[in-house]
Structure 1
Amino acid sequence: MGRVLRNVFVGACVVLWLVPLWLMVVNAFTASTEYSGSPDWTFQGFAIFDNLSTAWDEARIGEGFGSSLLYAVVCAAAAVLVAAMASFAVVVLPIPRPAFWFWLIFSGTMFPLQMFLAPLFGMYADANLYDTRMGLMLVYVAWAIPFAFFLIRNQMTTMPPELTEAAMLDGASFRRIFWRIHVPLLAPGLGAAFIFQFTAVWNELLFGITLSRSPEVQPVMATLTALNNAYASTGPPVILAGTLIVSLPTLIVFLVFRGLFLRGLTVSAR
């Protein structure tokens, strides 16, 4: 009975996830001139390429696409590297009060992003970082570090301390121990953390629309809002087509690296 209820629950969750996805895909194929104003449940045409072209031109998604790819790859990689170093310091290095440092870094995940907007905006305006790629990259790296630190630190605590002790007896420095022992063994956790942060930075909107305004600087989610501003001239099918475009990178990353992602989650959850 328990298995049946579990399967029913899982099936219901799958349906709840697939229904809006189905509606998005179906209505993205509808021509804007033929859209009735209410969602269609079946395909009413094949205007997907026209809608994609309009979304690409109206919102200048191409520029935002390149910017988001830069932000997601570089910022996620930098955040994972810093988080790995911080995890090594908290777990392996003989620093005082490691629990305090853990909670201090991890507390970055506990506060809503909205509370940072006003001080960040003022600080960025004073430092000439507003509407610059460097400004967005700095905030994305800082935002991505705490959760990556949580995942990597959890995996690092499962590594036997005898590895570090044996390396130290052989005369290895902490730097060598980190790069030659811990980083290779942490590969699944590092990969999972990177995928998480890549997805988070790619899908981020709040900082993108608050700390930038130029199409060549704004991330793709912020440029996509231009379609909403031009709602009357483009129509929902074009907006949905643009949504399909910007959803592809995270889907591709997950499908290509799903094995590494699952191994990393399994190890980090121990």
Structure 2
Amino acid sequence: MGRTMRNLFVAGCVVLWLVPLYLLIVNALTPAGGYTGEPDWLPGDFALLDNMRTAWDEAAIGDSFLNSLLYAVVCGAAAVVVAAMAAFAVVVLPLPRPAAWFWLIYSGTVFPLQIFLAPLFGLYADANLYDTRLGLMLIYAAWAVPFAFFLIRNQMTTMPPEATEAAMLDGASFTRIFWSIHVPLLRSGLGAAFIFQFTAVWNDLLFGITLTRSPEVQPVMAALTTLNTAYSASGPPVILAGALIVSLPTLVIFLVFRGLFLRGVTATAR
């Protein structure tokens, strides 16, 4: 009985997730001029490519798509490197009060992002970082570090200390121990952390609409809101086609690196 209820619950969750996805795809196929105002439950004409082309051109999703790709790759990678160094310092180096350092860094995930917006906006305006790629990349990288640190530190605590001790006896510096021993052994955890941070940066809307205004700097989620407002006359099929474009990179990243992701999540959960 328990297994049956569990299977029914899982099946219900799958249906709840698949129905909106199905409606998104079916209505993105509908020609923009032929949309009646009611969602279509069955596919009709195939106008997906035309709707995608309209979304790509009218709302400048193409430029914003490349912006978000830059932000997600660079900031995700930078956050993982910084987080790995911080985790190495907390776990391996003889720091006083390592638990206090852990909670200090990890506390960056505790507070809601909204409380930082007002002071951050004023700081960015004074420093001429508002509406710049550099300004957005700085906040994305800083925002991504705490959770990446949490994942990598958890995996690093499972590593046997004998490897580090043997390297120290051979005269290896902490820098060489980090890059030659810990980084190769942490490959799955680093990959999982990067996928998490890539997805978080890619899906960000809050900082994108607060710290930018020009299409040349905006991330793709902010451009999608522009498509939903300024270009709403294009019709829901075009907006849904834009949403489909935006969802593709994270889906591709997960499908390509799912093995690395699952190994990394399993390793960090031990």
Which category of TM-score, normalised to the shorter sequence, fits these structures?
Answer: over 0.9
Residue 158 of structure 1 aligns with which residue?
Answer: 158
How far has the Cα of 1:229 moved from its partner? 1.2
Q: Deviations over 1:145-168 (max 9, x none)?
A: 000000000000000111111111
Distance 1:40 1:113 in 2: 37
Matches within 5 A, 1:149-228: 149-228=149-228
Q: For residue 147 of structure 2, what is the aligned residue in structure 1? A: 147
Counterparts of 2:83 and 2:11, CA distance in 1 = 37
1:44 Cα offset (Å): 2.6
Deviation string 1:28-86 (CA, Å, 9 cap, x unpaired) is 01112221212111113211111111111111011001111100000000000000000
Runs of 4+ in 1 over 6 A off after TM superposition: none
Offset of residue 24 of structure 1: 0.4
Paired position in structure 2 for 1:32: 32
Mean CA deviation greater in 135-144 or 165-174: 165-174
- The answer to which of 31-40 and 142-151 deviates more is 31-40
Query: Structure 1 CA distance, aligned partners of 2:111 and 2:232?
Result: 37
Query: Residue 56 of structure 1 aligns with which residue?
Result: 56
Contact in 1 for aligned 2:151/2:189 (Cα 8 Å): yes
Q: Can you give the 5+ residue segments of structure 1 that lack an aligned partner in the other structure?
A: none
Q: How far apart, CA to CA, are the structure 1 residues paired with 2:40 and 2:111? A: 39
Q: What is the distance in 2 between the residues matched to 1:238 and 1:171?
A: 62
**Any conservation in 1 of the 2:28–2:51 contact (CA below 8 Å)?**
yes
- CA separation in 1, counterparts of 2:225 and 2:23? 20
Percent identical: 78
SS at match of 2:37: coil
Pairwise CA distance, 1:3: 1.9
TM-score normalised by structure 1 residue count? 0.98
* Matches of 2:214 and 2:161, distance apart in 1: 50
Distance 2:231 2:179 in 1: 51
* Count of residues in correspondence between the two structures: 270
- AA at the equivalent of 1:57: D
| 1:179-213 deviation per Cα after TM superposition (whole angstroms, max 9, x unaligned) | 00000000000000000000110110110111011
CA RMSD for the aligned pairs? 0.9
Aligned to 1:46: 46
Q: Which moved more, 1:165-174 or 1:254-263?
A: 165-174
Residue 168 of structure 1 aligns to which amino acid in structure 2?
Answer: M
Amino acid at match of 1:213: R
Unaligned stretches of 5+ residues in structure 2: none
Measure the CA separation in 2 of the matches of 1:232 and 1:181.
54
SS in 1 for 2:198: helix
- What is the Cα deviation at residue 231 of structure 1? 4.8
Question: Which one-letter code corresponds to 2:73 in the other structure?
Answer: V
Is 2:78 the partner of 1:78?
A: yes
The residue aligned with 2:234 is 234
Q: For residues 77 and 46 of structure 1, what CA distance do their matches in structure 2 show?
A: 38
2:35 and 2:85 mapped to 1: Cα distance?
A: 53
Shift of 1:2: 2.1
Cross-structure match for 1:9: 9
C-alpha contact (below 8 Å) 1:28/1:240 kept by paired residues: yes
Confirm or deny: 8 A CA contact 2:58 2:231 kept in the other structure.
no
Q: Is the 8 A contact 2:106 2:149 kept in 1?
A: yes
Q: Which amino acid aligns with 2:177?
A: I
Preserved CA contact (<8 Å) 1:58 1:226: no
Distance of aligned partners of 1:5 and 1:160 in 2 relative to their CA distance in 1, 3 Å threshold:
same
Q: In 1, distance between residues paired with 2:132 and 2:157?
A: 38
Q: Is contact 1:155-1:269 (8 Å) kept?
A: yes
Moved more, 17-26 or 225-234: 225-234
Please tell me whether residue 68 in structure 1 is matched to residue 90 in structure 2. no
1:59, 1:224 within 8 Å by CA — same for their partners in 2? yes
